[in-house]
Amino acid sequence: MTKFIIMCRGILSTFASAIALGGNQNAARGMETQARLQTNMVLRFAHLVWNAALRAIIDMCRAMILHIRSAPSTSGPPRAHPVRRETAPKLILTYFDAPGIAQATRNALDYGDIEFQDHRITREDFDAIKSDLPYGKVPVLTIGNDEIKIAQSKAILRYASKLSRTYSSDPVDAAIIDQWTELHTEFTSLLAINMYPDEYGLVGVYDKEEHRQYLVKTHIPRYLAILENDLDGADDENWLGGMDAMSMADIVWHQTLESMNQGTLDGFDPNMLASFPLVRKYLDEVSAQLSCKSVYADADDDGDTQTSDADGDGDSHTSDTDGTETRKMK
């Protein structure tokens, strides 16, 4: 009996020890769980604080940007011409050593203070490089180190005008500028046919003198009247399409009107502008804006020039045979 009691006591003692050990383990587990919960709460709180701080920084940056944009400019009135960009791509304009259909592009780049290389070639040079030119024609504008080549005089002029800010970013104003530029193409197309009928396949079936009489008496006066009427409705400054500054349209029309006024348009009387005083005044105003001396007056007076309609863009041009000239517009 005594042995049985001693054995029961041993069993009870062992059981009590096991219960005590289990309780200690449960307590340890509870403490570990509580520690994990506290750690998670700290991490969540830190995350919330970080997000709030980040949003505050972003809001401060936005407020600073809006303040800077709304602050009045302290740089004075805008420049008449844009500042030359040092990062602007290298430009090479290839054309004959004459005004012609490349002169408007030269004027646009010069007006915008855009540096470019004015590469002037002879007829012999043209024949040598013709096969490498887009469509086998000039003018051609080579852009950047990649040597992207742009052909067609109006496409080149539009690109140059965007650089010189004489082409509007507003879609409606841009369409109006294009409208007057396309009118110029329409006007010069018939002049080119008359001066170079063989290039249009009209040899032997075309009365050049009869057609020229139509141009002098009807075609040219009709388009000059369109210009005169538009300029008549202008206010202080006369710019085509009612623009408030000189545009690409003014530059391209100036090229042809100046050629007519100087008497270098083959076979056409320079006095044709006399009946259109507003057009004459407009020509002087564009010339003053361009601040360019008359390159047409520098043409060879001995008549030793060579005509060419190399690009078929509907305007006349001549090329001297004195050699090439390469220069940079300043």
How many domains, the chain? 1
Average confidence (pLDDT) over 136-151:
91
Q: Are 273 and 280 in contact (CB under 8 A)?
A: yes
Q: How far apart are CA 212 and CA 220, in angstroms?
A: 10
The neighbouring-strand residues paired with 120 are 95, 325
Q: How far apart are CA 139 and CA 148, in angstroms?
A: 14
Residue 320 domain flag: no
Residue 268 domain flag: yes
Residue 25 domain flag: no
Using pLDDT thresholds of 50, 70 and 90, give the confidence band for residue 113. very high
Q: How far apart are CA 71 and CA 65, in angstroms?
A: 10
Q: Are 256 and 273 in contact (CB under 8 A)?
A: no
Span 63-77, pLDDT tens digits? 777 666 555 443 433
CA distances from 11 to 2, 4, 14, 170, 304 (A): 14, 10, 5, 99, 133
Predicted TM-score of the model (pTM): 0.63
Q: Which residues contact 62 (CB under 8 A, 6 or more apart)?
A: none
Task: Give the three-state DSSP class for 140.
Answer: strand
Span 17-53, pLDDT tens digits? 544 545 555 555 667 777 777 777 767 776 776 777 7
Residue 57 domain flag: no
Residue 59 domain flag: no
Residue 263 belongs to domain spanning? 168-297
pLDDT(162) > 60: yes
Residue 82 domain flag: no
Residue 130 domain flag: no
Place of tokens 């990649």: 146
% of residues, the chain, pLDDT over 90: 47
The neighbouring-strand residues paired with 326 are 119
Q: What are phi and psi of 318, to 5 degrees?
A: -125, 160
CATH number for the domain spanning 277: value is: 1.20.1050.10
Residue 176 domain flag: yes
Q: Strands (DSSP E) along the chain, which ranges? A: 91-96, 117-121, 140-143, 148-151, 306-307, 318-319, 325-328
- Listing DSSP states for 225-280 in one string gives HHHHHHHHT--SS--GGG-SS--HHHHHHHHHHHHHHTT-STT--GGGGGG-HHHH
Span 198-255, pLDDT tens digits? 888 887 888 999 999 999 999 999 999 999 999 987 666 689 999 999 999 999 999 9
Hey, what amino acid is at 252? V
Give me the numbers of helices (H) and strands (E) for the chain, helices first please: 9, 7
Q: How far apart are CA 123 and CA 158, in angstroms?
A: 26
Q: Strands (DSSP E) along 91-139, which ranges? A: 91-96, 117-121
Q: How far apart are CA 95 and CA 99, in angstroms?
A: 9
Q: Measured on CA atoms in the order 269, 280, 307, 194, is the torsion positive or negative?
A: negative
